[in-house]
Amino acid sequence: MRIFWQSFVDASVNAPYMARLSEYLNAIAAPGTSVHVEGISPPDREFGRLAELRCAILAIDNGIAAEQGGFDAFVMGHFQDPGLYELRSALDIPVIGTGEATLLAASQLGRRLGLVTLDPVFEVWHYEQAERYGLGGRIAHVVGLGCKPEDFAAAFAGDQEAQARMIRDFVACAR
C-alpha cells in the first residue's frame, strides 16, 4: 500500500521536519506500506482563511495527481483539514483528515476536549471544524500558541532553545 501524506510546509525550508516526519510515518506503517510525504510550495506562511484556501487548492491538485500516480490513500496532514470534503468528492481513494481523525479519537478518550492550536487565528476555525464533525458541544476550549512555521523549523533542526521554548509555550497554553 502506498499512502500520500500532504504536509502544508515547504520541503526545502523545513527539510529537518519533513525528514523526521517521513522517517516516523514509515517506521510505524504496517509491513508493505510506504508513506510519501509531500510539502507545499510556497507553504502556508500567513495563517488565515485565504492561506488555507490557497493551500487546499494545491492539496486537491496533489490529491488528484496522487490518485493518478497509483497511491492507495491520501492523508491531509494538516490539522485544519482545509479542502477535506472537496478532496473526498474528487478522489476515489480514501481521504483521511488528521484533524478529523484526531478529534474523533480524542472524543473517545474524554467527554470534553481542550485544543491547543498553532495560532489564535485558528481558534474559531477549530470550533467550526468540531461542529462539522459533530463534536461542537464537546470542545471546552481552544487556545492558540502564536507560533510561526519557522519556529518549528528551528526546533526540528536541533535548536534546543527553540524546542524548549515551544514546549514551554505549549504547556502554558494547555494549562
Q: Dump pLDDT digits (tens) for 121-133.
A: 999 999 999 999 9
Q: Dump pLDDT digits (tens) for 149-165.
A: 677 788 888 889 988 98
Determine the structural domain holding residue 63 and report its residue range.
2-174
Q: Dump pLDDT digits (tens) for 10-50.
A: 888 888 889 999 999 999 999 999 999 999 987 666 778 88
CATH of the domain at 76: 3.40.50.12500
- Distances, alpha carbon 30 to alpha carbons 1, 25, 33, 102, in Å: 9, 10, 5, 19
Instruction: For residue 51, name the pLDDT band (cuts at 50, 70, 90).
Output: confident
Number of domains in the chain: 1
* Rounded Cα distance, 127 and 146, in Å: 17
pTM for the model stands at: 0.89
